[in-house]
Structure 1
Amino acid sequence: MKIVLIGSGNIATHLGKAFSDAGHQIVQVYSKTLANASALANVLDSEAIDNLNQIDLDSDLYLVAVTDSAISHVADGIPKNLKGIVAHCSGATDISVLKDFNQHGVIYPVQSFSKDKDLDLSHTPFGIETNTEFNYDILLGLAGQVSDYVFRCNTKQRLALHISAVFANNFSNALFQISYDLLAEHELSFDMIRPIILETAEKVQNHIPKDVQTGPALRNDNSTMLTHFNFISSHPDWQLIYQKISDLIIKTRENKSEN
């Protein structure tokens, strides 16, 4: 398959490498900054372009791997007489943003991507949505060459997945940073809580999260929670987060008890 990557960031880098390793030809890499396109194109042995009018019109897939806010603008600039499938990689963007193309779809990898970290995509779920069954079979087959977990999903399901990923990944990482900063304030190393972070992550691989919840809020230990709350009084934002999440744990505990 001949593929044009429209984008040169984290997702474009990982998917470009994965599809190239699977035997597909990355024909072009587009970025509005030619240096960025060239950096990835050199890795993938492809042509770098910085003008959407330069896109190869005879490729099989045009993978729009840009930020969510840029998808609509980029799609507007892509020639409409393409023969192949135009697909974006977003979890939060409706498939209808590509409705001007006869063949269109979505390849959504449920994963966190960083250019400087190697990633085995074989365990990454890929959600596929297309405007025709024929296109679905093509994208399903393509994603299935790099992942063992490929499935059909609609726009609403993708959005649910994306929001879930934000809670589980982005928000938890922000909480890790609070932990890091709190420890640093008291001359302690973040290494001291890395084991408990790993243990928690491993537990939810085989259990429903609420079933392995621990901590003072679950135990209704108001004395400890008040001590914690007062200890971080110089950080009102942390206090608010602490209170809100504790209230959520308490509510979940009460609902579980009722059931």
Structure 2
Amino acid sequence: MKREIVNIVLLGSGNVATHLGLHLQNIGYNIIQVYSRTEKNAMILANRLNTDYTSDPEQLNQQADLYLIAAKDDSIATIASFNILKNKFLVHTAGSVRSDIFIPYTDKYGVLYPFQTFTKTREVNFKIVPVLVEANTPDLENELITLAEKLSEKVLKASSDQRAMLHISAVFACNFTNHMYAIAADLLKNNDLSFDLLQPLIMETAEKVMSIRPADAQTGPAVRFDRNIMDQQMTKLNEVPVYQEIYRIMSESIQNLQNKK
């Protein structure tokens, strides 16, 4: 008889745990408990989900069909090692943590990786969020796929190695890009200009890569190999050596990619 996931214990209380908990509940899953090592954080999320909470591993509910670990990467093994979770169905939500991290603790494990950046205060349309699934048996994989397909319209199977490379790509496309925005905002602020001036440029750049290859959308002095402009801009950055070094490295990388085209 096919087993069905109904009751879920959510282990974590941060951005991913909050969004997953709310969306899983909205599509009919029963979040029977929230765990966090910080009781206040567990209570805040549990109150939003109208469910039980604990910060004591020994008080974890043992009746769940799935124990979903949505916590910091370096906390996953610690949580999985809780004696009360021995041989439970354990799943984590991390991009760069292998599924076999669970091997010492259970023979039923997997990964449910929602590929998106999450902030508690911003709504996310989960239907368009890619969800990557991995499990150690075909049956468990099918269970996770069934759950994932209720969350999202884009579900795919991915190995730990594939997921890790996707996560690295996200660091470049999201985290590093956002840091570039932060640098740009700092440079503008120091010259009495508003970051708002960049917003149309940012939107146009983002929209272009939805229809053409990023390398083909590249513009600017580096892709034109305009050494005079690049030297002038490097000189302007003399007072902030770290920005100057980032500019140099990024420009060289742009040129190297263009040479490969």
TM-score normalised to structure 2 length: 0.95
Matched, 1:164 2:172: no
User: Which residue number corresponds to residue 214 of structure 1?
Assistant: 219
Amino acid at match of 1:151: L
Amino acid at match of 1:75: A
Matched, 1:77 2:82: yes
- 1:80 deviates by 3.8
1:161-202 CA distance string (max 9 Å, x none): 100000110001111000000000000000000111111111
Aligned match for 1:87, one of 78, 88, 91:
91
Q: Is the 8 A contact 1:106 1:130 kept in 2?
A: yes
User: Which residue number corresponds to residue 20 of structure 1?
Assistant: 25
User: Which residue number corresponds to residue 201 of structure 2?
Assistant: 196
1:130-183 CA distance string (max 9 Å, x none): 011101111101011111111000000000010000011000111100000000
What is the distance in 2 between the residues matched to 1:204 and 1:234? Answer: 33
Q: What fraction of aligned residue pairs are identical, expressed as a percent? A: 39
What is the distance in 2 between the residues matched to 1:13 and 1:23? Answer: 16
- 1:82 deviates by 5.0
What is the distance in 2 between the residues matched to 1:21 and 1:36? Answer: 21
- 1:102 deviates by 2.1
Q: What's the C-alpha RMSD, in Å, of the aligned pairs?
A: 1.0
1:211-253 CA distance string (max 9 Å, x none): 1111111111111111110111101000100001100111111
Q: Is the 8 A contact 1:14 1:115 kept in 2?
A: yes
TM-score normalised to structure 1 length: 0.96
Amino acid at match of 2:202: I
User: Which residue number corresponds to residue 122 of structure 1?
Assistant: 127
Change (3 A) 1:78 1:87: farther
1:52-95 CA distance string (max 9 Å, x none): 12111121111000001111111112524455x21000010011
What is the distance in 1 between the residues matched to 2:87 and 2:249? Answer: 50
Secondary structure of the structure 2 residue equivalent to 1:219 = coil
Unpaired runs of 5+ in structure 1? none
- 1:7 deviates by 0.4
User: Which residue number corresponds to residue 100 of structure 2?
Assistant: 96
What is the distance in 2 between the residues matched to 1:78 and 1:246? Answer: 52
Aligned match for 2:144, one of 139, 151, 159:
139
What is the distance in 2 between the residues matched to 1:58 and 1:70? Answer: 22
What is the distance in 1 between the residues matched to 2:231 and 2:212? Answer: 30
User: Which residue number corresponds to residue 44 of structure 1?
Assistant: 49
Identify which range, 229-238 or 73-82, moves more after superposition: 73-82
